[in-house]
Structure 1
Amino acid sequence: MYPTENEKAVIEAAEKIMVNTMARYDPSHDGYHVQRVRRTALKIAENVSIPPDMLVVELAALLHDVLDKKYVTAAEAADPYAFFLPFFESMASQHGINLVEDGRGRLIAQIIDNVSWSTEKKLKEKGLWTKWHDVCVELHCVQDADRLDAIGAFGIMRCAAYSTATDHTLHAPPNDPQQPSSATQHFHDKLLHIRDRLKTTYGQRLGLKRHQVLLDFLAAVDDEYDITTPA
């Protein structure tokens, strides 16, 4: 039965790393975001046809944003396995789970390195997308969970929070100089495309409702803006 007592100890250790790190980031990428991704990833993992390694899913979900390129340098994010290796090694001596020897540490790092939307886009554009990306169930569980938190009610709040943290306007009309980088434009550039790129059947089911929340919100924005626009 997952998790065992030893697995719980490893999970708690990873959670501490996450909490300490995410405390330095803005509210769009804080510990609450990670906890939501963790819970959703585990729920997806319970509902996929091929049972994944639950420990890999949970650890990858907990650590997936520690090296987010929006908050750390490219050099820091270049080698997730090297970064997390001291943690992986310490779990063997402290809790009897050798993530290095059994290969799960490398898989966790590989998931972390490939989970983001922008990474997937770049790999496909460069022809570097592989069969592993298409078949790794653990990757799909974490990817879908992370992307689901970018849409729906929490996605809307996170988009506004990140726009504020990066000093981008929330909404600007067409042809306005600030419009291309506004929060509402980000819906059209990325968020509205997420539903169709979710990889698991369960994630796709969750995505339907959250996608509709985005559409309803944008309709409300347009409606309210039209009222305040001079005739």
Structure 2
Amino acid sequence: MFSQYQQQCEEFIVANMKTDLAHDLLHVKRVVALATQIAKGEQAELNVVLPAAWLHDCLSYPKNHALRSLSSLHAADKAIIFLRSIDYPEQYLLAIHHAISAHSVSGGLVADTLEAKIVQDADRLDALGAIGIARCIQVSSQLQRPLYSPEDAFAVDREVDDQRFTIDHFYKKLLTLAASMNTELGKEIALQRTRFMESYLKQLALEV
């Protein structure tokens, strides 16, 4: 059923996603693909998972914005207003709202449904692997953060500070995501992508 609404969701995202280079239409499409793959394996409700995946970042405050922690909740509110405007079936809206509002780490909400857990996994997976490395550097470049500390690149003898250094974000957040995955397929993909990121850090250590 959702296929008839997909074009409208994509057009809405193109018109409304205005944050940083790492949160663009390409990010959304990757999350949708991952969410679809996981949802089919888990036999989840695609009429909830797919609109939630498409619209999860329809509003996203910048990383250094005072309202950053409210991005997912405000995105959920905005998504529901839009879905009602295109007459999306009301029976799915509450579950979609929860799936969007619970997807973000910074939002602090617990994903209580299978569909919410799948959207959360899909979004977190896109922060890992080769794509995750590229996205992390994109955001840090916009914030004008250097790649690493010249004195202690890998935070061996200092506190991790991802507000100052790009590589610190790997240790602060990215390398911990695999342990937070909800689904078996999410865990499997996350571990593979995390291993790639660890190999990147080992190679980087040889070059700096």
Which category describes the TM-score, using the shorter chain as reference length? 0.7 to 0.9
1:148 paired residue among 108, 125, 131: 125
Match of 1:74 in 2: 67
> Residue 117 in 1 paired to residue 117 in 2?
no
Runs of 4+, deviation exceeding 3 Å:
71-82
Match of 2:32 in 1: 38
Match of 1:229 in 2: none
Map 1:20-35 → 2, pairs under 5 A: 20-22=15-17, 24-35=18-29
Per-residue CA shift, 1:114-152, capped at 9, x if unaligned? 1101223xx5xxxxx5xxx34x11011111111111010
Task: Structure 1: give runs of 5+ residues left out of the alignment.
Answer: 124-128, 226-231
- Write the distance in 2 (CA, Å) between the matches of 1:142 and 1:82: 16
- Write the distance in 2 (CA, Å) between the matches of 1:221 and 1:139: 35
Distance 1:18 1:184, change over 3 A: same
- Write the distance in 1 (CA, Å) between the matches of 2:198 and 2:182: 21
> Residue 162 in 1 paired to residue 139 in 2?
yes
User: Higher helix proportion, which one?
Assistant: 1
Q: CA deviation at 1:17?
A: 0.9
Task: Structure 2: give runs of 5+ residues left out of the alignment.
Answer: none
Q: CA deviation at 1:91?
A: 2.5
Q: CA deviation at 1:212?
A: 0.6
Map 1:76-95 → 2, pairs under 5 A: 77=71, 79-80=74-75, 82-92=77-87
**Taking structure 1 as the reference length, what is the TM-score of the superposition?**
0.77
Q: CA deviation at 1:15?
A: 1.4
Counterpart code for 2:178:
R
* Percent of residue pairs identical: 30
Larger RCO, structure (CA 8 Å, separation 6 or more):
1
